[in-house]
Chains A and B, each alone.
Chain A
Amino acid sequence: MADLLNIGSSALLSLQRAISTTGHNIANANTEGFSRQRVNLETQPPEFAGGNFVGNGVRVDSVERFYDQFLSVEVRERTSLEARSGTLNDLTSRLDQLIADPSTGLAPVIDRFFGAVQDVATNPSSLPERQVLLGEARVLADRFHDLDSNFRNLDAELNGRIGAVVADINALSESIASLNGQISRATARSQGNPPNDLLDQRDQLVNELARRIDVTVVEESSGSVNVMIGNGQPLVVGNTARAIQTGASAVDSSRLVVGVANASGAITDLGRFLRGGELGGLLDFREQVLDPARNQLGLVATGITAVVNDQHRLGMDLQGSAGGDFFTPLQAAVGAFSSNSGLSSASVSIDNAAALTGDEYTLRFDGGLWTLTNRSTGSTQTGGGPFNVDGLEISVSGTPSNGDAFIIQPTRQNAALFDLALDNPRRVAAASPLRSDASLGNAGDVSIDGLSVTDASGLPLSAPVSLSFNPDALGPGVPGFDVAGAAGGPLAYDPASEGNGKSFTLGGFEFTVSGTPQTGDTLTVVNNTNGSGDNRNALALAGLQTSNTLLGGSASFQDTYGNMVADIGVQARQAQSNSRTDGVLLEQAVADRESVAGVNLDEEAANLIRFQQAYQGAAQVIAVADQLFQTLLAATRR
């Protein structure tokens, strides 16, 4: 009888364990990272009696969690990817929204600015139109500042988020390290039986970490895991965690970089190795979306400034003086690395705004030579300097040491620095500084057309330049103009064959002569004194709106800004679709894991019924044993 009782009670105990495990599963149905558990039952060793092995009841072999390592790794990796593309998508779509409303973009203010130039061209001597032009130019400057400050605010926000994510990463590393300790102690105590719930907790923390940054996990035989990031930088080793830090960038103190502190306390930047997760998304957004957008906006600002100034300087204002700068000239920014020896310096000037690309460059000294690298394309130039690249002239000076480096950001800051140089409407150079006259006494019909100034350095003219027709100017029978007041004469001109127009360049101006002059007919080019009704330079300025003056002569100002908008749009679209894809893949990975490890309440309900019935059966076994025993007692009580 004792055996039957034993069998019954072993079943009761084991089934109690099974029921409570089912209860545990039900209780944790909504716990994230929880893997359902089951009790593995096995028969007790049988008893050899009467030549037969007789069953001896049941016992609990183990409590096992449903867990598939491959599925878990898949979920972790997908989590990293999804977090990166999700972050990138959030930020890029915010940038996309910032530029979405065309009325708050740059395009309408560029239109209005050039519209105001047209109005000045229509009424060159009227002050109100000029005042409006200056007003529109200020609006243009404000819009540049607004757009740039949007970008800068995003940049500042990124700093904050990077700091917060790094703090999260460090806190998670600490927790993982401490769980590592608990797990290895528990494993040692249980002689190999896994502490399921602790393992689930740790897996969950590693997943949380993977949501922040892409990690590599290596399992030790002791049951603890080592976690690495980037190019093998350890984050958790056994039960110790190593912190990563943030610090100001060596070239731009307004920016946070992520790295580890070296012996001297300085931060070694790991940025380029850190991929995946929210942190990867933040860094990628900064580098691949935000910086290029700012550079491109700066390029538009630099381009408008340089191109408009060049034309404006060829003009003459209402006071009769040569046109000055319309916008404050913009320079390319150079930053020295904080690790530099301090004995060398680099300077950059913008030679040709049309050739600017919006790319950034690094200049590094090594082995006696400087190497200039385009950070976008990777193309390099090596030599002693100066370097000419993409419209920039970069010169170096001083006595450099190996490792001295500079970063060149030709346009990054320029949208913020864009400003109006003029404040007096009379200083708008709508006129051209020279005009041409045909003498009233001319017998023939000859005129100068299309007089335009190409180089204002020799102006104003100290004396009028006069062209006088002479049938023998260049020798007997070779007609042309004798030139007084400028070098470069006589000019060959044959009315018979060239009467439809012939172009000449003299000093700093060019013009076309047409018609049939008589001997002695004179044409003069004089300073455009009192030329307040002249609008030639204003027309030329207005023409800049549609001429392709930027990106190697392939794009207008508007096109260049359009490129930026399109780039952001394309990137936002790409980020959106990547994020969607990664989201679906993550969902799938989670579904795969859940199909193994997740709790299904119906299933648990069924299990409850199953174990309850078995428990009731086991209880009946004990009752039967009791009855058998009572029967036996009754039989022997006489």
Chain B
Amino acid sequence: MRMSSVQIFQQGISAILMQQAEAARTEQQLATGRRILSPSDDPAAATQIMDITEDLERVDQFQRNANAAEGQLALEETVLADAGTLIQRVRELVVQANNATQTPETRRNIAIEIEARIDELVGLANTRDAGGEYIFGGFQSQSQPFFRQGSDVAYAGDDGQRFVQVGNSVQVAVRDSGADVFMRVPSGNGTFSVAPGAGNSGTAVIDATATTGPFASDDYTIGFSQATPADPVTYQVTDSSATAIASGTYSEGQALEFAGARVILKGTPAAGDTFEVRPSRSQDIFGTLRDIADALNTSGTTPAEQADLNNAMTIALGDLDQALGKVLEVRSDVGVRLQHVQSQLDVNESFNLQLQETLSGIRDLDFAEAVTRFNLQLTALEAAQQSFARMQGLSLFNFL
């Protein structure tokens, strides 16, 4: 084809310009270390980069949340451990107080310590975190949840529980409502409770209780009668509608079984003595402690008073075991959550790494390839420049 002089010139120049543009682009890629310089380079990858960056940000946020949750749960665990130790100590005191060597005087001393323990427990239940929030207050974390009301301790918080997002679809509870920890402790053995009648005059005390099958939920009364002191003591169990459901001759240590419950008594009841068997209810730990202190304060030396105290202490031990069980239950739950958070921290960390890798694969430059390409482009550019110069140097006019 016939070429015009301008065209030869243009062709050479535009080849050089194009080579320069390509080389400049590679240079920019090398300088930034990025394969994709603007969305048009690879629109799909550009949105992918955006998505991955968002995920990375979120994982970072989850790590921050998880660290906060870890702190919260660790604090709660410490408090629960302290509460457990406290209840354990009270349990020891109760065992000690139940000992026959104690006098009303020494029991009152024990009662004083128990009262101090109540204050300590209220203090624990009103624990505040670093941010000044009451950790057992439910949603009302800014107002003190537990306070004394007369001799009782009342709960002013609620059932609210705070959750924190620690993973894409993982929320972990970082608080427990004070009601669940301190207020909702089942009484008795967890199924039913036994209490002596108010005017008992015999020496019968509760020795042990157990369930033998499904407990038929109702209020039962065990009544004792003895026609004459020479006669054997008989018992009769009536339900809430005064229907007798079991009866027989009483002997010490004998298991009374009815409606799925087993009650073993020690000592000898007097005629007219009663024991009430009720379905387990929820009661608060503070009340349990209060009752123990009250029983210790009012202990006497007569056999009936001794029996009262023994009964109160037996009931107290049962209730304390329930309380301890409750605290342990919440504490192990907190432990599980803590573990969950910690494993989530690891999961997030490895997710983070994996995302970083993916991101790098999409966004980052293959340096070896880019440097090779750059060299090639520079060679091509030089070739274009040299051939341009040679071509322009040729002219027939040079020979005229």
What is A's interface to B at a CB cutoff of 8 Å?
29-30, 36, 92-93, 96-97, 99-100, 102, 105, 107-108, 110-112, 114-115, 118-119, 121-126, 431, 435-438, 440-443, 447-448, 518, 528-536, 539, 542-543, 545-546, 558-559, 561-563, 565-573, 576, 587, 590-591, 594-603, 605-606, 608-609
Q: Is residue B165 contacting chain A, with contact meaning CB distance below 8 A?
A: yes
- Supposing A533-B137, A566-B44, A605-B397 touch, asked if A595 and B3 sit within 8 A by C-beta, the answer is yes
Mask of B262-306 contacts with A, CB within 8 angstroms, 1/0: 000000000000000001111010000000000000000000000
Considering the chains assembled together, what is the distance between the CA atoms of A600 and B6 in angstroms? 8
- Supposing A122-B68, A437-B158, A601-B5 touch, asked if A530 and B142 sit within 8 A by C-beta, the answer is yes
Q: Is residue B86 contacting chain A, with contact meaning CB distance below 8 A?
A: no
- Starting from the known contacts A93-B38, A562-B51, 15 additional A-B residue pairs (CB-CB under 8 Å) come to A108-B53, A111-B58, A123-B131, A435-B159, A440-B184, A442-B282, A562-B47, A566-B39, A566-B43, A570-B43, A595-B2, A597-B4, A598-B6, A601-B395, A602-B395
Considering the chains assembled together, what is the distance between the CA atoms of A534 and B162 in angstroms? 7
Considering the chains assembled together, what is the distance between the CA atoms of A566 and B44 in angstroms? 7
Give min CB distance, A412 to chain B, whole Å: 22
Give min CB distance, B333 to chain A, whole Å: 15
Give min CB distance, A89 to chain B, whole Å: 10
Write out the residue numbers on chain B whose beta carbons fall within 8 Å of the beta carbon of A569.
Answer: 38-43, 46
Considering the chains assembled together, what is the distance between the CA atoms of A605 and B221 in angstroms? 134
B4 touches A595 (CB 8 A): yes
- Supposing A545-B58, A599-B5 touch, asked if A107 and B179 sit within 8 A by C-beta, the answer is no
Write out the residue numbers on chain B whose beta carbons fall within 8 Å of the beta carbon of A563.
Answer: 47
B160 touches A100 (CB 8 A): no
Considering the chains assembled together, what is the distance between the CA atoms of A122 and B2 in angstroms? 78
User: What residue in chain A is nearest B72 (Cβ atoms)?
Assistant: A122
Among B159-176, those with CB < 8 Å from A are: 159-160, 162-165, 168, 171, 175
Give min CB distance, B397 to chain A, whole Å: 5
Partner of B160, one of A92, A533, A599, A602: A533
Partner of B142, one of A125, A546, A600: A125
A530 touches B143 (CB 8 A): yes
Write out the residue numbers on chain A whose beta carbons fall within 8 Å of the beta carbon of B39.
Answer: 96, 99-100, 565-566, 568-569, 572
20 A-B pairs with CB atoms under 8 Å apart are A96-B38, A115-B58, A118-B65, A121-B164, A431-B139, A435-B158, A436-B159, A440-B179, A440-B282, A530-B140, A533-B133, A534-B139, A539-B163, A565-B43, A569-B40, A595-B7, A596-B2, A598-B3, A602-B396, A603-B2
Q: Is residue B1 contacting chain A, with contact meaning CB distance below 8 A?
A: yes
Among B108-151, those with CB < 8 Å from A are: 131, 133-134, 137-143
Among B60-113, those with CB < 8 Å from A are: 60-61, 64-65, 68-69
Considering the chains assembled together, what is the distance between the CA atoms of A73 and B50 in angstroms? 47
Among B4, B49, B162, B164, max chain A CB count under 10 A is at B4
Write out the residue numbers on chain A whose beta carbons fall within 8 Å of the beta carbon of B162.
Answer: 124, 533-535
Partner of A531, one of B49, B140, B217, B400: B140
B50 touches A125 (CB 8 A): no
Considering the chains assembled together, what is the distance between the CA atoms of A30 and B4 in angstroms? 10
Considering the chains assembled together, what is the distance between the CA atoms of A13 and B154 in angstroms? 128
Write out the residue numbers on chain A whose beta carbons fall within 8 Å of the beta carbon of B46.
Answer: 565-566, 569
Give min CB distance, A206 to chain B, whole Å: 20
B50 touches A558 (CB 8 A): yes
Partner of A518, one of B37, B131, B139, B217: B217
Considering the chains assembled together, what is the distance between the CA atoms of A602 and B2 in angstroms? 11
Give min CB distance, A182 to chain B, whole Å: 26
- Supposing A532-B142, A535-B163, A599-B5 touch, asked if A573 and B61 sit within 8 A by C-beta, the answer is no
Q: Is residue B235 contacting chain A, with contact meaning CB distance below 8 A?
A: no
Q: Is residue B252 contacting chain A, with contact meaning CB distance below 8 A?
A: no
Write out the residue numbers on chain A whose beta carbons fall within 8 Å of the beta carbon of B140.
Answer: 529-533
Considering the chains assembled together, what is the distance between the CA atoms of A570 and B41 in angstroms? 9
Write out the residue numbers on chain A whose beta carbons fall within 8 Å of the beta carbon of B382.
Answer: none
Considering the chains assembled together, what is the distance between the CA atoms of A114 and B164 in angstroms? 14
Considering the chains assembled together, what is the distance between the CA atoms of A587 and B18 in angstroms? 14
User: What residue in chain B is nearest A534 (Cβ atoms)?
Assistant: B139
